[in-house]
Amino acid sequence: MRNFRITVDGTPYEVSVEELDAVAPASASPSPAPSPAPRPARPAAAAAPAAPPPAAAADGGAGDVHSPLAGTVVSVDVAVGQHVTKSQQLVVLEAMKMNTYITAPRDGRITAINVAAGTAVAEGQSLLSIG
């Protein structure tokens, strides 16, 4: 048995440790992991669905700008009647402690705002309209 004195958060402790006979030498190199067996080929899977559009292009088609994900509105950075340009920041959403910046898909004028700061929104929900 070997005795040690350790201090944890300012409190001293006395510890007894038993030495084992079979101790691996420190310089022993680990053996390489076995390589995985090759997998048999699979038939081609059906094409994956197209990825959703990025937040910067969250245009619903009829002038609506939709939320690309569920979250909470942090800020609405435009007002009704304001002229916006393509890629201008419109809304900031928070989801999973990360901010997502929603930008204008095209030039236009804000015709309606459907959310306010603090509003919980669902994926696909209309945030505002650009005319």
Q: What are the residue ranges spanned by the domains of the chain?
A: 64-130
- pLDDT for 64 equals 94
Q: Minimum mean pLDDT among 1-10, 52-61, 94-103: which range?
A: 52-61
Q: What percent helix, strand, coil does the chain show, rounded to 5?
A: 0, 40, 60
Average pLDDT, the chain: 82
DSSP state of 59: B
Query: According to CATH, what is the number of the domain 64-130?
Result: 2.40.50.100
Q: How far apart are CA 16 and CA 21, in angstroms?
A: 16
C-alpha 60/C-alpha 68 separation (Å) is 10
Taking the C-alpha atoms of residue 93 and residue 69, their distance in angstroms, rounded to an integer, is: 9
The pTM for the full model equals 0.53
What are the pLDDT digits (tens) for 74-119?
Answer: 999 999 999 999 999 999 999 999 999 999 999 999 999 999 999 9
Please choose, from the candidates 130, 70, 72, 71, the residue with its C-alpha nearest in 3D space to the C-alpha of residue 103.
130
